Amino acid sequence: MKTIDKYVFQALDNYPYSLEETIESLDYAFSYDAKNTMVLCLYGRIQAEQLLNYDEAKNYFQEALAINIHALEVYPFYIQTLILNEDFEEAQKLIDFALTIKGINKAEILVKKAILLEVQMEFKKALVEIKNAKLHSINYTSDSEVNEAEKRIKGKIDLGKKKKKPKKSKKSSKKKSK
């Protein structure tokens, strides 16, 4: 095992529970190889998930993909960052491209597509993508993520369908005068 791998594993093991140790391990790994896509991806995740600095996160993800377009670990996090940053068109293009990459976890990318549609309030289309994700799911982690997204989207559909209480018709009671 290379020394850089040791530091990458330490960083992954520490994230997100010990950010200081994560950064320290990443910095060591980065000093060994500034073009390691896993390191750049985790730097991007920290920017997006912890610091909410989506533009900086996008830079890290773009740099990783410029180094290796087949860096499979980058796509789900980059797509999520684009969605959170409301870069919907860019997210859709990246999803479409990611689905063409050999070896990518298609279920995970299809869930991201469903989330993109969800934030755009396209709930029925999102459920179609959830169905596609279920068809591509090959492990428990994917199943769990798919089921959680499906439950959340169906809950939002139900919110829209909440039946309004029927208005009580007011019967005008006419008093008969004698």
The domains located in the chain, with CATH, are: 1-90 (1.25.40.10), 105-157 (no CATH)
Whole-model pTM: value is: 0.88
Q: How many CA atoms lie within 13 A of 42 on its CB side?
A: 25
By three-state DSSP, how is residue 146 classified?
helix
pLDDT (tens, 9 = 90+) of the chain, 178 residues, equals 788 999 999 999 999 999 999 999 999 999 999 999 999 999 999 999 999 999 999 999 999 999 999 999 999 999 999 999 999 999 999 999 999 999 999 999 999 999 999 999 999 999 999 999 999 999 887 888 999 999 999 999 998 887 544 555 555 444 544 4
Q: Quick one: which of 59, 129, 141, 55 has its CA closest to 96? A: 129
